[in-house]
Amino acid sequence: MSLISAIVVAAGAVGTGLQAYGQLQAGKAAQEQGKAEQRILDYNASLKEREATAARERAMEEARMFEERGRELQGTQKVTLAKGGVLSSEGTPALLMTEMARNLEADRNKIIKEGYLAESTLRSEAKGLRYEGMAAKVRGKNANTGYKYGAMVSLLTGFGNTYYNYKRGTN
């Protein structure tokens, strides 16, 4: 085998090794990227969950304050009726007071319901982010596996070609 043939065979073997190493490194990088994406999406999901809890708590506080203002309004209405010499516990004034209480309670319940709906929506978004994170991790793992197979194919092909060139150079 001539010196040039030996150099070509050696270069082919080194090139094959470097190609396989590069593919393995690309696979590791893809897997790490998938894990990093999952961590980011999990973090965003936890922010959504905190936001969901805050939305519910805000709605509950708003409903409590609305209820207080409603009681104050009812009290003011009773005082106003009493100043005018009208009993608020009989007849039309009693019906108006009952209707007002019913409307105030319906509005308070609506505030609470909107808070729970906002919480539910945000928690669903958080769950979606977590699923996206799991999918990103799986994509990274699958890419790593693909790169490993690619590296094996490169090694087998490269060594086959190197052996062929070696045999050709020795004849």
Mean pLDDT over 71-84 rounds to 89
| Mean of pLDDT over the chain | 91
pLDDT at 141: 95
pLDDT at 131 over 90: yes
**Residue with tokens 């007071």, as numbered in its chain:** 97
Mean pLDDT over 92-119 rounds to 94
pLDDT at 4 over 90: no
How many structural domains comprise the chain?
1
Confidence class of residue 169 from pLDDT cuts 50, 70 and 90?
low
pLDDT at 155 over 80: yes
pLDDT at 10 over 80: yes
Look at 36 and 79; give whichever has higher pLDDT. 36
pLDDT at 171: 62
Domain span including residue 23:
3-170
pLDDT at 86: 81
